[in-house]
A = this chain, B = another copy of it.
Amino acid sequence: MAPMYKLTYFNVMARVEPIRFLLSYGNIEFEDIRIAQENWSKIRPSTPFGKLPVFEFDDFKTNQSLAICRYVAKRVELVGSNDIENLEIDAVVDTVSDMRAKTFVYTHERDSTKKENLKKALLEETLPYYLERFEPLAKSKGGYLAVGKLTWADIYFVATLESLCPSMGKNLIENCPTLQNLQKRILNLPGIKEWIAKRPVTAE
């Protein structure tokens, strides 16, 4: 039987790896379509708001990676058990997403001097600011980022590091034992372990 879900993105991990992790966690098969940069302009007019990823099933088609993650998280039962828990989870996810977004200008900068300066500020100030707060947060929540149990906030965080660390050329959580432990546990979850073994190897 053909997979129900079709996920279209570029051939990178970036903001879509959390969706691939969540689907894999739940052993949900999906069509993992990776389009080449040179074909993007042809495909773009058919995408909602001209954006990737596109997530499709039945007659439904949408963009927006966080919205897609939240939907898949419900399917694989990694959401909270009530509205307040989901508020806590959503706030962590949005904060991880904010942290990642801070690297956007650096990633797209082509001038090498400017790029080095941006990298320095990110590695010395911006990213540590977040990680120094995520570490005690996880410590206070039994080793998870929200509500004291495994949720999609943890998967989202660890899958984000998969591309963020190589793109920054550094293990960003090297001084964060609680987050390292969380990462290790997530990367060893059966469905995710299988996904990592079979996924295309990409730089970011």
Contacts and interface: CB of A to CB of B under 8 A. Distances in A.
Interface of A: 48-50, 60, 62-64, 66-68, 70-71, 74-75, 83-84, 86-88, 90-91, 93-95, 129-130, 133
Nearest to A48: B91
Contacts of A48: 91
Nearest to A60: B84
A60 B86 CA distance: 13
B90 A66 contact: yes
A66 B91 CA distance: 8
For the complex of A and B, list the 5 residue pairs with the smallest distance between their C-beta atoms, beginning with the closest.
Answer: A67-B90, A64-B91, A71-B87, A67-B91, A64-B94
A49 B68 CA distance: 25
A50 B84 CA distance: 21
B87 A83 contact: no
A95 to B, nearest CB: 6
7 contacts: A49-B95, A49-B133, A50-B129, A60-B84, A60-B87, A63-B91, A70-B90
A89 to B, nearest CB: 8
B90 A64 contact: yes
A133 B51 CA distance: 12
A66 B74 CA distance: 18
Contacts of A66: 90, 94
Nearest to A65: B94
A83 B71 CA distance: 6
Contacts of A71: 83-84, 86-87, 90
Given A67-B94, A94-B67, A62 B49 contact: no
Contact of A75 (B49, B50, B63, B83): B83
Contact of A62 (B60, B74, B91, B133): B91
A129 B50 CA distance: 10
